[in-house]
Structure 1
């Protein structure tokens, strides 16, 4: 089997395996008593990760350069990054529910690359002059890994919003700041909740008690609260991993730009949206670490970051403008 045929087989296999993996994780969430379903899902995710790694390795050998030069290659690299970050998140959370949100996005990316892109875009092509640099591996790989981590963290934030149904809840996790602002906020929130609970307990009207804000904070079951706490914590930690990677990738890109174009920063659409992405997640981390935000507000900010990452990765390249116009591919 030649390398091209091997790649064609591996991209289809990775899609099929990740589709199976998604079904296993979803079925495991629907039927939690079937303990073997999450195990099958984790096995499928590992096989999918290895298939994509083998695909990229075969592509590297065939083309003679690190496979990050077009849309097909970068999509599979992001899918590989998402499957890798899945195991990081699952290991930290000890919850198979992480796969419920990571498996569909990994499967969707491989499906788009395998089934949607024309054959001409899937084939390896010689590098354009701007990409013939050792910075290709450093800059692009780190940027795509950061996108993968930020996507996973953002998806877990979306899952948090779904689990909590938009309610403000008091979390017990350690993924928030410890400054004076947070301490005073928690003391104030605790006194307010105590007063509201007392008023509800003293009320003789059951309907009135149900409608008080105190009852709203305890509407979720303990299991759902524990899950929400886990999702909030792991989302924060994964985003905290992706943000330094994004920072390193932007710095590496600036150095490469100076070598290739004589300027560290040119404000073309790709660079501008990379900065916007950095600012969104910097605001998220700042709010959590120094302002003590937790729960719904930072989750909404992280969820918006998911859209911003996709605009930066793919959306602005569709314009075909700027110094990165040769690759609306990445």
Structure 2
């Protein structure tokens, strides 16, 4: 099989993964949409039962103001919606797993096509980062109930894959000389894995802020069926604790590789500077999280600011800033 055929099959696997993840995102959305109506229907069914009971008590001379407790309905009518929601969640889980494996297949085929580790440009980084994100979420879902988070993972992943195909796509080719090193496997792979964990942490921080805002406003939303806000925030914090050492290693490994490639540990390259900026912002997040007197809302905003820096580093610095890391192929 020729390299061109392998690259073509890699792209086919990528397109298939995008189609499957689209189904996953839709099913995750159906699951979320079914949660709130199920609750509202149960409440609506309860209201006539309470009214009938009060009417009986009034007829008996008890009066509406002397009722002791509402009578629960004898049947649960939210079952149909609940079954529909569970069916959608099951399909979403299965298709998310399938999408992750298709992305893995795409990465493997791309690597075979170019005879190297497939992390030599923005397109390959985006595909592998999406793969890590989807598989990390899927594996984590086997240990915890995370169906409520699925749409916040598959949605951004599809956006990144769409950009990879439409904007960042690069034909399979050899690496430039400065990238032909085993440090490509070490440095860039860890950076990609850290970015994937940061992505899930950012999604949790966003969900926490949304849920907290709606709780403060007193408005009923589907977010009411999510875990409690302190639990969501603690989970986001635990993920950032995992991702931060990975990013620290990325920064150090990059400096070592720079010494071998360019004879200097630090060259004030735009990519190096922004990698350090990201590290500083997330260090500020962890410090703020451990400092009393700083609200969890403020801490979560700092986490989102760190992820915004990651987006700038990848989508802006790689494209518009000329430096020693200008190897995106765009």
Measured against the shorter chain, the TM-score band is 0.7 to 0.9
- Tell me, in whole angstroms, the C-alpha distance in 2 between the residues paired with 1:102 and 1:78: 12
In structure 2, the partner of 1:117 is 167
Distance 1:255 1:316, change over 3 A: same
Deviates more, 1:157-166 or 1:39-48: 157-166
Distance 1:160 1:91, change over 3 A: farther
Choose the corresponding residue for 2:33, options 30, 52, 72: 30
- 1:196-254 CA-partner distances (Å, limit 9, x unpaired): xxxxxxxxxxxxxxxxxxxx7x8889955843233212211111111111111111111
- 1:96-128 CA-partner distances (Å, limit 9, x unpaired): 1111211101111112223x137xx43211110
Calculate the TM-score normalised by the size of structure 1.
0.78
Shift of 1:327: 2.9
Distance 1:247 1:288, change over 3 A: same
Shift of 1:28: 0.6
Counting matched residue pairs gives: 278
Unaligned runs of 5+ in 2: 36-81
Choose the corresponding residue for 1:152, options 200, 221, 231: 200
- Tell me, in whole angstroms, the C-alpha distance in 1 between the residues paired with 2:322 and 2:98: 38
Contact 2:214 2:220 in 1 (8 A): no
In structure 2, the partner of 1:283 is 284
In structure 2, the partner of 1:179 is none
- Tell me, in whole angstroms, the C-alpha distance in 2 between the residues paired with 1:150 and 1:242: 6
Deviates more, 1:29-38 or 1:49-58: 29-38
- 1:5-31 CA-partner distances (Å, limit 9, x unpaired): 311210110110111111111111111
Distance 1:27 1:224, change over 3 A: closer
Structure 1 runs (4+) deviating above 3 angstroms are 88-93, 218-227, 290-294
Choose the corresponding residue for 1:95, options 127, 143, 146: 146
Shift of 1:41: 1.2
Deviates more, 1:86-95 or 1:317-326: 86-95
Shift of 1:91: 4.7
Calculate the TM-score normalised by the size of structure 2.
0.78
Distance 1:322 1:220, change over 3 A: same
Two-structure CA RMSD over aligned residues (Å): 2.4
- Tell me, in whole angstroms, the C-alpha distance in 2 between the residues paired with 1:320 and 1:287: 31
1:325 match: secondary structure: coil
Contact 1:81 1:145 in 2 (8 A): yes
In structure 2, the partner of 1:229 is 230
In structure 2, the partner of 1:21 is 24
In structure 1, the partner of 2:76 is none
Q: How does 1:18-167 map to 2 (within 5 A)?
A: 18-32=21-35, 33=82, 34-87=85-138, 89-91=140-142, 93-114=144-165, 116-117=166-167, 121-165=169-213
- Tell me, in whole angstroms, the C-alpha distance in 1 between the residues paired with 2:247 and 2:116: 23
- Tell me, in whole angstroms, the C-alpha distance in 2 between the residues paired with 1:88 and 1:295: 27
Q: Which has the higher contact order (CA 8 A, sep 6+)?
A: 1
